[in-house]
Amino acid sequence: MFNSVQETLPREEIEKIQIAGLRKTLKYLKNSNSCLKEKYKHIEPEDIKSLDDLKLLPFTTKDELRDCYPFKHIACDISDCARMHMSSGTTGVPVINAMTRGDIAQWGEIMARCLSCAGLTEKDRIQIMPSFGLFNGGFGFHYGAERLGCFIVPAGAGRSLMQLKLIKELEVTAIGAIASYPARLIEVARESGFDFRETKLRVAILGAETWSDEYRKRIEEEMNVKTFDIIGLTETGGVGLGIDCPARAGIHIWEDHYIVEIIDSETGQPLPEGKEGEMVITTLTREGLPLIRYRTRDISSILSYEKCECGRTHVRVSRIRGRTDDMLKVKGVNFYPSQVEQILLKYKGLSPYYQLVIETVKGKDEMTIIVEKADNGITQKELEHLDLELYDFLGFHSKIQVVPEGTIQRVPGKAVRIVDKRKKI
Amino acid sequence: MFNSVQETLPREEIEKIQIAGLRKTLKYLKNSNSCLKEKYKHIEPEDIKSLDDLKLLPFTTKDELRDCYPFKHIACDISDCARMHMSSGTTGVPVINAMTRGDIAQWGEIMARCLSCAGLTEKDRIQIMPSFGLFNGGFGFHYGAERLGCFIVPAGAGRSLMQLKLIKELEVTAIGAIASYPARLIEVARESGFDFRETKLRVAILGAETWSDEYRKRIEEEMNVKTFDIIGLTETGGVGLGIDCPARAGIHIWEDHYIVEIIDSETGQPLPEGKEGEMVITTLTREGLPLIRYRTRDISSILSYEKCECGRTHVRVSRIRGRTDDMLKVKGVNFYPSQVEQILLKYKGLSPYYQLVIETVKGKDEMTIIVEKADNGITQKELEHLDLELYDFLGFHSKIQVVPEGTIQRVPGKAVRIVDKRKKI
Ligand SMILES: [Zn+2]
Ligand SMILES: [Zn+2]
């Protein structure tokens, strides 16, 4: 473990740290430059007596942060900040997170814990494949690897042939990437006769997208690696909020830096262990953008507050199933693309390149699942079975269209899973 | 000044530091992992009595480094290195520079000096436009700005509209970029009605390419900034080897970290002050890739060892005219694209987008200068005058083809100035 003291704190210690951190953050926010401080005018930090009191505080939403563009939500002076990252803004005004030196150190610490949790040490050579820049992925891995003492190959996004060449020639042992990117690497490897078994690669740390267990299994087999699911948002300080561990028993959230809650998206009420809902994050140590009860829109559940097999005591949540934004409602049924992916990828003859196309036909929703074939494709019998499985899960019939490899456009960055042609109301 | 003690050392002090640094580097190399150490087997560091003895040492060439791909030229263990950058490899096998933590600190120091020399302080907001990744540009600016304490907007390459939006909305005061990129920014600004005078931008630090004084003048006028020419190579440790100063009296090379010589490319003999030739760099403080007399292929000249108006005592060299690789030989005449650029851009009606196309017609060289028009274009009379000027400089007639704006492809990264269609021997 990178920080074995902090990562194995007893539950009572964690709670003490969280209450103190929450009070401190509230006090700091109330006296800050943030325009959001008004929300806490009538709240006295010292009135927070237990973690249970957290639920008395108001939520913070992405829309509130967007209204603050560019810097009105930043708690300190911009001249006290060292730099910034920014959400993609593909679905509206972007959110900027300006970071102090303290924030960057905090980020390095939690990312180093994540890399260490994935089995990396200072002996590893990590190739960083998310882009470096406004997107936080590249720099997050960079600072974590620097803190841990790995050798960094700063490849950035794209150029898959070059990525493979470097993995092999530089004897790279680990990669960090956007979750859908390994599918592309595997495809290019196959086209060019590249064999992952002739490399020293053993770990792939993947995030920034929802990815199914079946996809995971396939990546692990084809790349001959162990994968780790890493999570984080621009708003909470970037990638590194949590990661799953070798015990594969959920994603540990670093609780000395964050409080996690799961709430009912509709009612806003906290949900008990095991219940699926929206993840809400409170930051305890962030300075540029401290957040109280930030609604992440990510869907997860609390798995356990008990000590994990890996020795870590920090809470475990389930892998993220999707974002509330990604949730589809077709013919009145709610589901996430990752759930369809999970079913598709049980079939060896189907590839991880798929799209769900939804349109209105004669006033009714119709969904077509376009999926590329892999290997020798899928037999008629398998196709019928898939159809049954999908119907079983969705409760309505969708059209399955198996297309040749390469049909779906390969895009840099996050994959496009949904093409919704329905008229928006 | 970022480091006023070091930047204003008296000449005798600089020489003492250089002799000591040279001896130390030689000794270190001889006992290192580098396969190049064999070259120094019979050289005793203590035999170096004066800087004059430097010329007794053998050169290091890019081809030697290429033969070492990926890591054989690295002096220390890769596990002692924190990361690497890599030359583009567009003209052959790339060269990797693996960096220790000491190297990264050295890089931060010299880049912070460069930014400070360009007038930046911790109050500035710098938008970094070279790509972050294997190319050293992005990270060089990043570490320098971090060291100096600026606020960093890590924009990376491309997305010109977004770049402009950020400059304005985030009140950016300085940019770092590949030298040809401002031409694109100006073009996009014009198309979208963006006015640089409504921003807080005042400094542009440009490098990685040869750019003429006329281009410089145009950028300064149109963007309403002061520009600074920054130099550096992957092999010497990246961008930051030197920069020109507010006195605009040449490029200062940080002599406590590097020794610069100018040599005759043909004979290898050192050239005196004022004579133009190939720049040769010896590193004094680099650990991953220490270099003795590295032939950079960049063409420059020593301007002065005297104290500069700006107060700095470090040697000044002339702005780089081109690389020996870029030198064109057409109809027996040697010249650099930047020299043609310098003539073209005297005409307001011509843009900085140009290409020199050379082909063999009836067994003879023919050169066509394709250049895009700017503003209202160029009159017949001006065209005739340009033709005369070019003939005067080149000594042969070239065809000038003025084409509409947007004809020449906009590429990310370095501009393509030469299209040589002649059969190579
Ligand atoms: Zn665990
Ligand atoms: Zn000067």
Which of A131, A138, A151 lies at the smallest CB-CB distance from B82? A151
Alpha-carbon distance of A186 to A180, in angstroms, equals 11
Distance B251 CA to ligand 2 centre (A): 8
Mean of pLDDT values over A73-99: 91
**Res B90: pLDDT:** 67
What pLDDT does residue A11 have?
Answer: 97
User: Is the peptide bond between A58 and the residue preceding it cis, with omega within 30 degrees of 0?
Assistant: no
B314 at A interface, C-beta within 8 A: no
Q: Cβ contacts (< 8 Å) between B155 and chain A: which residues?
A: 133-134
CA of B7 to the centre of ligand 2 (A): 10
Q: Residue B246 CA: which ligand is closest?
A: 2
| B79 touches A: beta carbon within 8 Å | yes
Q: What is the pLDDT of residues B14-55, one digit of tens each?
A: 999 999 999 999 999 999 999 999 999 999 999 999 999 999
The owner of tokens 């220390």 is B76
Q: Under an 8 A CB cutoff, do B156 and A133 touch?
A: yes
Taking residues B86-110, what's their average pLDDT? 92
- How far does the centroid of ligand 1 lie from the alpha carbon of residue A8, in Å? 10
B68 touches A: beta carbon within 8 Å: no
Q: Which residues of A touch B172 (CB under 8 A)?
A: none
Q: How close is the Cα of A51 to the center of ligand 2, in Å? A: 60
Q: Please state the domain extents for chain A.
A: 1-323, 328-424
The two structure tokens encoding residue B149: 């304490």
In CATH, the number for domain A1-323 is 3.40.50.12780
Provide mean pLDDT across the span A284-295.
98
Which residue of B81, B133, B152 is in closest CB contact with A83?
B152
* C-alpha span between B173 and B201 (Å, rounded): 4
3-state secondary structure A31-43: CCCCHHHHHHCCC
Q: Which of A132, A168, A172 to mutate to test the interface with B (most CBs of B within 10 A)?
A: A132
Mean pLDDT estimate for chain B: 94
Mean pLDDT on A306-327: 93
Identify which ligand lies nearest to the alpha carbon of B245.
2
Calculate the average pLDDT of chain A. 94
| A136 interaction partners in chain B (CB closer than 8 Å) | none
Shortest CA distance to B232 belongs to which of B216, B264, B204, B209? B209
Provide the β-strand partners of residue A359.
A366
What residue ranges in A301-395 does DSSP mark as E strands?
A: 302-304, 316-317, 322-323, 328-330, 333-335, 350-361, 364-373
Q: What is the pLDDT of residues A1-27, one digit of tens each?
A: 999 999 999 999 999 999 999 999 999
Nearest to B228 by CA among B240, B236, B237: B240
Residue B147 touches partner A, C-beta closer than 8 Å:
no
Task: Give the closest ligand to the alpha carbon of residue B250.
Answer: 2
Q: Does A149 touch chain B (CB under 8 A)?
A: yes
DSSP codes of every residue in A100-153: EHHHHHHHHHHHHHHHHHTT--TT-EEEE-SPPSSSSHHHHHHHHHHHHTPEEE
What pLDDT shows up at residue B43? 94
Residue B66's pLDDT is what? 94
Q: What is the pLDDT of residue A332?
A: 86
**Residue A311 alpha carbon to ligand 1 centre in Å:** 6
For residue A371, the 8-state DSSP code is E
Structural tokens at position A307: 């000590």
Nearest CA-CA partner of B394 in B336, B350, B323 = B336
Question: Taking 60 as the threshold, does the pLDDT of residue A425 lie above it?
Answer: no
Quote the minimal CA–CA distance from B73 to chain A in Å.
14
Residue A412's pLDDT is: 75
Residues of B in contact with A200 (CB under 8 A): none
CB-CB under 8 Å, B154 with A85: yes
Residue A160, pLDDT above cutoff 80: yes
Between residues B155 and B89, the one the model is more confident about: B155
| Dist CA A308 CA B83 (whole Å) | 33
Q: How confident is the model at residue B297 (pLDDT cuts 50, 70, 90)?
A: very high
**Measured distance CA(A43)–CA(A56) in Å, rounded:** 10
- CA diameter of chain A: 66
Of B81, B97, B148, B153, which to mutate for an interface test with A (greatest number of A Cβ within 10 Å)? B153
Secondary structure element (H or E) that encloses residue A384, with its range: helix A380-394
Interval B394-404 mean pLDDT:
93
**Helix (H), strand (E) counts: chain A:** 10, 21
The answer, yes or no, to whether residue B179 has pLDDT greater than 60, is yes
Question: CB of A268 within 8 Å of any CB in chain B?
Answer: no
How many Å lie between the centroid of ligand 2 and the Cα of residue B48?
Answer: 30
Cβ distance of A156 and B134 shorter than 8 Å: yes
A185: which DSSP letter? Answer: H
* Closest CB from B81, B134, B153 relative to A154: B134
Question: Phi first, then psi: what are they for A73, rounded to 5°?
Answer: -90, 0
ipTM computed for the complex: 0.90
What tens digit of pLDDT does each residue of A238-276 get?
Answer: 999 999 999 999 999 999 999 999 999 999 999 999 999
pLDDT in tens, B233-266: 999 999 999 999 999 999 999 999 999 999 999 9
Give Rg (Cα) of chain B: 22
Distance CA A163, CA A145 (A): 18
**Which pLDDT band holds residue A424 (cuts at 50, 70, 90)?**
low
- pLDDT (mean) for B97-116: 98
Q: Say whether A123 and B79 touch across the interface (CB within 8 A).
A: yes
What is the distance in A from the centroid of ligand 2 to the CA of B320?
A: 16
The string of pLDDT tens digits covering residues B299-349 is 999 999 999 999 999 999 999 988 888 889 998 888 989 899 999 999 999
What pLDDT shows up at residue A327?
85
Facing residues of B177 across strands? B206
Enter the tokens of residue A197: 């078994």
Residue of chain A whose Cα is closest to the Cα of B171: A70
A138 part of contact set with chain B, CB < 8 Å: yes
Residues A328-424, CATH architecture: 2-Layer Sandwich (3.30)
Q: B121 C-alpha vs ligand 2 centroid, how far in Å? A: 17
The phi and psi torsions of B347 (rounded to 5 degrees) equal -100, 115
- In chain A, residues with a C-beta closer than 8 Å to the C-beta of B129 are none
Q: Mean pLDDT, to the nearest integer, of B402-409?
A: 92
Return phi, psi of residue A114, to 5°: -60, -45
Strands B350-361 and B364-373: antiparallel
pTM of the model: 0.91
pLDDT digits (tens, 9 = 90+) for B195-226: 999 999 999 999 988 999 999 999 999 999 99
Torsion angles phi and psi, residue B277, rounded to 5: -170, -165
Q: 3-class DSSP state for residue B13?
A: helix
More confident site: A293 or A321: A293
CB A150 within 8 A of CB A120: yes
Q: Does B85 touch chain A (CB under 8 A)?
A: yes
Q: What is the mean pLDDT of residues A387-412?
A: 91
The proportion of chain A whose per-residue pLDDT surpasses 90, expressed as a percent, equals 88
Taken as a whole, chain B contains a residue count of 425
Best CA proximity match to B152, nearest among B136, B137, B132, B172: B172
pLDDT at B324: 84
Q: Tell me which residue of B8, B13, B10 sits closest to B309, measured CA to CA.
A: B8
A152/B83 touch (CB, cutoff 8 Å), yes or no: yes
Inter-chain contact B82–A153, Cβ cutoff 8 Å? no
- With an 8 Å Cβ cutoff, is A77 touching chain B? no
Residue B170 forms contact with A (CB below 8 Å):
yes
Look at residue B243 in the predicted model and tell me its pLDDT.
98
The answer on pLDDT for A380 being more than 60 is yes
Would you tell me how many other CB atoms lie within 10 Å of the CB of residue A198? Answer: 9
A219 vs B327 pLDDT, higher one: A219
The mean per-residue pLDDT over the stretch A164-179 comes to 97
Percent of chain B whose pLDDT exceeds 70: 99
Mean pLDDT of A344-361: 93
Sorted by sequence, the CB contacts under 8 Å of residue B185 that are 6+ apart come out as: B160, B163, B164, B177, B223
Instruction: Flag if B83 and A154 touch (Cβ within 8 Å).
Output: yes
Tell me the β-bridge partners of A97. Answer: A85
For residue B134, give the nearest of A81, A122, A155 by CB distance. Answer: A155
Neighbours of A303 (CB within 10 A): 18
Percent over 70 (pLDDT), chain A = 99
What is the residue-wise DSSP string for B20-60?
A: HHHHHHHHHHHTSS-GGGGGGTT--GGG--SGGGGGGSPPB
pLDDT at B88 (0 to 100): 81
Q: Which of B48, B148, B154, B61 is nearest to B108 (CA)?
A: B148
Instruction: Supply B326's token pair.
Output: 């870029």
Contact criterion met (CB below 8 Å) for A29 and A75 = yes
In degrees and rounded to multiples of 5, residue A191 shows phi and psi of: -60, -35
